[in-house]
Amino acid sequence: MPFVFEQTAIHGLILVKPKVFGDQRGFFKELFKASDFEQVGLPARFCQDNLSFSRRGVLRGLHYQLPPHAQGKLVTCLQGEIYDVALDLRRSSPTFGRWLAVHLSGENHQLLYLPPGLAHGFQVLSEEALVFYKCTAEYAPEAEAGVIWNDPELAIPWPLSPPVLSERDQRWPSFREAPLFD
């Protein structure tokens, strides 16, 4: 199997490490293979691919979509480096209210699978970053939700200060005020 799948400290949040074949020409890796993902119980069907380009200090998140449009996401950083954060919003989860951060980069080649019910955000640590992610549900503006990036209850230690934020990301509610998953 060209992937190693590691369960993280957040229930259902999986770190995916692809096998990278490199030589003097560069490298080759598979980012996704339906049969391998299906074999370990992860989604084999994604219906939307997204690509974002951001500069150093940009913080995007913490975003999610509510049912019936909740999204699972498979996230990777193709170029540059990001501090990637997942927050568990599922009341029924043993890790409800906990967050986890990982560094994703073009050099470490890792991917992160977030199941539906987790909020997602990242901050760019390199001069520029290309972030690619696959989604299990299409974007639905009416289902869009978020949690404010600097909620003191969560105390996420974002690496760069001050972050560069969109207007929208400055207005999300706190974790306690945000709509959650049952």
pLDDT, tens only, 86-126: 999 999 999 999 999 999 999 999 999 999 999 999 999 99
Name the residue type at position 97.
G
Distance, C-alpha 173 to centroid of its chain: 19
Does domain 3-170 fall under CATH 3.30.70.20? My reply is no
- Give catalytic residues, as residue numbers: 63, 133
Report which of 120, 107, 133, 160 is spatially closest to residue 52, judged by C-alpha positions: 133
pLDDT digits (tens, 9 = 90+) for 27-50: 999 999 999 999 999 999 999 999
* Cβ atoms within 10 Å of 67's Cβ, excluding its own: 12
Q: Domain coordinates of the chain in residue numbers?
A: 3-170
Flag whether pLDDT at 182 surpasses 90. no
Interacting residues of 88 by C-beta distance below 8 A, sequence separation 6+: 10, 11, 13, 95, 96, 97, 98, 99, 117, 118
